[in-house]
Structure 1
Amino acid sequence: MATTRSAHTVWEGDLLKGSGVVTFDSSGAIGEQPVTWASRAEEANGRTSPEELIAAAHSSCFSMAFSNMLAKQGTPPSRLVTSADVTFQPGEGITGIHLTVEGTVPGMAEDAFLAVAEEAKTGCPVSQALKAVPISLTA
């Protein structure tokens, strides 16, 4: 069964001096988050950016996909810690994403862990949606 999740942004003003508020409509779990051009192109200063939101989505999706693949091979993880770094270059856009994962997977050799991590990087739905951007992995 398909699901749809929703968010919306209210933006006021021009790009450089304006500001917005992102609201997570489906869950309400995160609440409203402020966003500005400066928080995107310079320092965050307590505000989010589209790239940070993509990083959150990608790290959680990758973790789910990787955990599922490991479990299907009979080696469920005890713990996975995944970070995603999304690089934004003003004037160019998003130029790359780097995933880093560390895990505790009893009974699994490091080379097998790396192979499944690569599969998860390619197969997770967010990676699929972001195929236009180079995605690298450290596991």
Structure 2
Amino acid sequence: MPTHSGSARYEGFGKDGKGFVSTQSGALADNPYGFATRFEDEPGTNPEELIAAAHASCFTMALSFALARAGYDRGTLDTVAKVTLDKDGDGFSITKSALELRASVPGISADDFTRIANEAKAGCPVSKLMKAEITLTHSLAE
């Protein structure tokens, strides 16, 4: 199985430092991050946003494959992951990733969709990696 990488560089320290994050694929290349992008409104990214994107994309792909295995061959899945960063003593912890899913899958019953979505959540590699509480709310378009 392949190994994928990401990298980060930080220039300066603390609140005044500036970071840059990149991915092996080049999808991100020296994207800025730091205190102001994490806790204020400065443009750039932050670790929680990147984890949320990873969780949403991993879960959505897992669900897509689970639906295909169940015989469904068309539809749309839109997932938003909201990652919560909470104060934890002198530091912080990621305590929750809430997946919000809106789907359109012609011909599926609500019960079958719920079962398949929950199985995909349980099997998603990023869900397995995280120790945070993971919730899934979903709606199925008619």
Q: Show the counterpart of 2:35.
A: 37
One-letter identity of the residue aligned with 1:4? T
Structure 2 counterpart of 1:80, from 77, 81, 84: 77
Displaced runs of 4 or more, over 3 A = none
Normalised by the length of structure 1, the TM-score is 0.90
Task: Determine the C-alpha separation between the residues in 1 that align with 2:74 and 2:100.
Answer: 16
The answer as to whether partners of 1:23 and 1:32 remain within 8 angstroms in 2 is yes
Gap regions ≥5 residues in structure 1? none
Q: 3-state SS of the aligned residue for 1:52?
A: helix
Q: Show the counterpart of 2:54.
A: 57
Offset, 1:4 = 1.2
Q: Show the counterpart of 1:66.
A: 63
Offset, 1:85 = 0.4
Q: What does the per-residue CA deviation read over 1:26-64, in whole Å, with 9 as the maximum and x for residues that have no partner? A: 211232210102322x23421101111101111110011
Task: Determine the C-alpha separation between the residues in 2 that align with 1:122 and 1:44.
Answer: 34
Q: 3-state SS of the aligned residue for 1:119?
A: helix
Identity %: 44
Normalised by the length of structure 2, the TM-score is 0.89
The answer as to whether partners of 1:11 and 1:19 remain within 8 angstroms in 2 is yes
Q: Show the counterpart of 1:47.
A: 44
Gap regions ≥5 residues in structure 2? none
Q: Show the counterpart of 1:14.
A: 13
Q: 3-state SS of the aligned residue for 2:60?
A: helix
The answer as to whether partners of 2:21 and 2:28 remain within 8 angstroms in 1 is no
How many corresponding residue pairs? 135
Q: Show the counterpart of 2:119.
A: 119
One-letter identity of the residue aligned with 2:115? A
Offset, 1:77 = 4.0
More strand by share: 2
Task: Determine the C-alpha separation between the residues in 1 that align with 2:42 and 2:135.
Answer: 27
